[in-house]
Structure 1
Amino acid sequence: MENKKEDRRVERTRMLLHEALMALILEKGYESVTVQDILDRANLGRSTFYSHYRDKDDLFLKGFGHLQTMLEGQHSQMAGKSGGISSEFNLSLELFRHAQQNYRLYKAMVGRQSGQMMSTHAHTLLSDVVRKHLEQYFKDKKKPDVSPEILSHWLVSSFLSLLTWWLDNNMPHTAEKMDEIFRQLTMPGLESVVGHDLSI
Structure 2
Amino acid sequence: MPQSRVQEYITIAMFELLEKKDYAHITVQDLVDRAGVCRASFYRNYFTRDEVIERFLDGIFTEAYPRESMSSANVEECILHFFKTALKYRRQLRALLQRGLLDRVSMAFYRQTLEQIRHLQVLNNKYQPYFFSGASAAMLCAWVENDFAEPPEEMAHIFMESLQGYMELT
- The answer to whether TM tops 0.5 is yes
Per the alignment, do residues 128 and 107 of structure 1 end up closer, same or farther by CA in structure 2, a change over 3 Å counting?
A: farther
Q: Which consecutive unaligned segments of at least 5 residues does structure 1 have?
A: 1-9, 139-146, 194-200
Tell me if structure 1 keeps the 8 A contact 2:10–2:32.
Answer: yes
- 1:42 has 2:35 as partner: yes
Question: Aligned-pair distance for 1:22?
Answer: 1.8
- Percent sequence identity over aligned pairs: 21
Q: Alignment length, in residue pairs? A: 168
- Cα displacement string for residues 60-111 of structure 1 (whole angstroms, at most 9, x for unaligned residues): 33334533433552x41334xxxx3x644433221101111222234456x4
Aligned to 2:69: 77
Paired with 1:31 and 1:92, the residues of 2 have a C-alpha distance of: 33
Paired with 1:76 and 1:24, the residues of 2 have a C-alpha distance of: 35
Aligned to 1:14: 7
RMSD: 3.0
Aligned to 1:124: 110
Paired with 2:70 and 2:17, the residues of 1 have a C-alpha distance of: 36
Higher-helix-fraction structure: 1
Residue of structure 1 aligned with 2:91, choices 89, 104, 109: 104
Runs ≥4 residues deviating over 6 A: none
Aligned to 2:160: 183
Paired with 1:71 and 1:101, the residues of 2 have a C-alpha distance of: 10
**Structure with the greater alpha carbon radius of gyration:** 1
The AA in structure 2 aligned to 1:41 is R
Paired with 1:50 and 1:156, the residues of 2 have a C-alpha distance of: 31
Tell me if structure 2 keeps the 8 A contact 1:22–1:108.
Answer: yes
Paired with 1:65 and 1:30, the residues of 2 have a C-alpha distance of: 19
Aligned to 1:173: 150
Aligned to 1:197: none
Paired with 1:130 and 1:191, the residues of 2 have a C-alpha distance of: 22
